[in-house]
Amino acid sequence: MKKIHLYRALALVSLLIVAISSGRGQEEKIVTQKLDSRIHELIQKYNIPDADVRVIKNDSVIYRYSKNSVNANKNYLIGSCSKSFTSLSVMILSEKGRIDIDKPVLAYLPWFELKDIHETELVTVRHLLNHTSGIGSQHGFFDYPENDLSLYKSKLTEHLRSVVLINKPGEGFCYSNLNYLLLGLIVEEVTNQKYTQFLSENVFAKIGMNKSFAGFNEDLQRNTIQSYQYMIFNIPHKTKIYPHSDYAAAYGYLSSNVTDLCNYLTFMLNRGVTPGGDTLIGENSYNNLITPAKGNYAMGWMRFNNNKKDIIIHTGLDENYSAIMAASPEDRIGIVVLSNINSLQFCSLVYESVMDNLENKPFTQQFSFEIFLRWLPGSLAVLTLILLFFNLYRWNKYSMKIGIILKPLPIIRLIIGIGLSFTGVLLVQKYYSISILSVINYQPDIVMSFIFILLIGSISSIVRYLGTYSKINSTTF
């Protein structure tokens, strides 16, 4: 009798385990479907031509999404996510005694010279790694499409001599591509080989990134997915990969895919140990890479705290592509988001949606400032053009006379009209914290619309002023 009760109890426990297991499987499936739907919704909202998303847990992929299955695992340019590979390269050489990160940059690049020679002597390799050199963001958009080092160095030297530091080295953070461009050249100096070659042989090959490419070469162009840029009103338009020098690979323009980047994140989660068991960097170097110096920036990685858990992350944006890669060492979770158009907010929202999904939270809903920025200037540009035609019609109606009105109201209207035309340009510069012309290749629709508004709006204001003058004089005579 006791045995019968025991068997019944075991049967009930077995059924309960099966039910729980089934429930878990169903819950995971529902969560996956929700995340699929959420990413699809964001793709529709941001007009994304293609996207690839992967999430890993330990060494396994636990989620995958590709907008077009035929393009799954294709290569994308990863923008500034490339910087972490540069910092890793520097730390590999540091462990071999080839680079001392606390030595001045001048110790490795004798031709390095800023406008102030005394400030030049204070900049160390560590400052470059942490973006604490004092070099401003606006100076980071230097590149010269030339792979001959002597010619490139000549142009770069000329550029560096115009650089005035915004603060003393080590005192403040300012993100600048120029820091990592210089780091790539330091790698070349101490290894006597191209940075792109060093990266391929000593990082990609060791980590298992077998289909990743560095440098503007045929492999990169042939294996990287079709690129796009937004035109007016958030409409994607096919483009070619923006030409760049091999030296720019140190701060951007690496070509990779979700599989290779998942291998890279696994390497980071394993604290510098490759899938094959080789240790590329030791504990001290690894901690340097992920420990912030000023604010949240470490060395090629940003570090944030999310629900009391550390996240290391970097975003990437170039003229045609956007990307995010992130890892939670505590949860051993890695996330890769790649897109073949210049929408960093899309990648950010996908990343946040993955995090919300993992934590069983409702998806974050927020106002899309990026889409607003794409629609607003286009709409204002059309309105400005309509106003110009109206003011031309009005001026023509009163015989298109030219002269000066000394009355206050027309002069005030003229000043306000031209001032408002400049407002858009000032807002874009404030939003990006750099000159509007520096980002024209990255966000051409936004920048060109505001430049159009500036020019046409100013002309329209002048035409309105002249129309008022013509009207007054036509009434008088």
Residue 313 lies in a domain: yes
* Among the listed residues 159, 274, 271, 281, the one whose alpha carbon sits nearest the alpha carbon of residue 208: 274
**Does a structural domain hold residue 55?**
no
pLDDT at residue 27 in the model: 35
CATH number at residue 81: 3.40.710.10
Same domain, yes or no, for 77 and 32?
no
- Examine the fold and report which residue of 303, 333, 358 is the final residue of a domain before the chain moves on: 358
In a domain, 51, yes or no: no
Same domain, residue pair 430 and 458: yes
Residue 381: its pLDDT value, please?
Answer: 87
Residue ending a domain, choose from 358, 379, 414: 358
Query: Both 293 and 150 in a single domain?
Result: yes
Print burial letters for 236-246: b (CB count within 10 Å at least 16), e (below 16). beebebbebbb
Residue 124, number of CB atoms within 10 A of its CB: 21
Whole domain around residue 15: which residue ranges?
A: 2-46
419 in a domain, yes or no? yes
Q: Which of 296, 330, 358 is the last residue of a domain?
A: 358
Q: Give the pLDDT score at 453.
A: 87
| Separation of alpha carbons 86 and 299, rounded Å | 9
If asked whether residues 153 and 38 sit together in one domain, one would say no
- Residue-by-residue DSSP string for 300-316: S-EEEEETTEEEEEEEE
In a domain, 54, yes or no: no
397 and 347: one domain?
Answer: no
Q: Are residues 350 and 393 in the same domain?
A: no
Q: Are residues 76 and 203 in the same domain?
A: yes
Q: How many domains does the chain have?
A: 3
Two tokens at 380? 């204002």
- Residue 344 and residue 318 in one domain: yes
pLDDT at residue 30, rounded to an integer: 31
Same domain, 333 and 217: yes
Sorted by sequence, the CB contacts under 8 Å of residue 396 that are 6+ apart come out as none
202 with 312, same domain: the answer is yes
Residue 308 lies in a domain: yes
Q: Is the dihedral of CA 50, 56, 59, 62 positive or negative?
A: negative
Q: What confidence score (pLDDT) does residue 234 get?
A: 86
> How many C-beta atoms surround the C-beta of residue 173 within 10 A?
16
In a domain, 12, yes or no: yes
Rounded Cα–Cα distance for residues 458 and 425 (Å): 13
- What sign for the dihedral angle of Cα 281, 337, 299, 204? positive
In-domain check, residue 364? no
Q: How far apart are CA 451 and CA 456, in angstroms?
A: 9
Residue 368 has a pLDDT of 81
Kindly give the confidence (pLDDT) of every residue in the chain, 477 residues in length, as a single tens digit, with 9 standing for 90 and above: 433 343 344 333 333 333 333 333 333 333 788 999 999 999 999 999 999 999 999 889 999 999 998 888 899 999 999 999 999 999 999 999 999 999 999 999 999 999 998 999 999 999 999 999 999 988 888 887 777 888 988 999 999 999 999 999 999 999 999 999 999 999 999 999 999 999 999 999 999 999 999 888 877 888 899 999 998 888 899 998 888 889 999 999 999 999 999 999 999 999 999 988 889 999 999 999 999 998 899 999 999 987 778 999 999 999 999 999 999 999 999 999 999 999 999 999 999 999 999 988 888 777 787 888 788 888 888 999 999 999 999 999 988 989 888 889 988 988 988 888 888 777 767 766 667 766 777 788 888 888 888 889 999 999 999 999 998 888 654
Q: pLDDT at position 475, please?
A: 60
Q: How far is Cα of residue 28 from the mean position of the Cα atoms in its chain?
A: 31
Q: Are residues 354 and 213 in the same domain?
A: yes
Tell me: do 168 and 316 sit in the same domain: yes
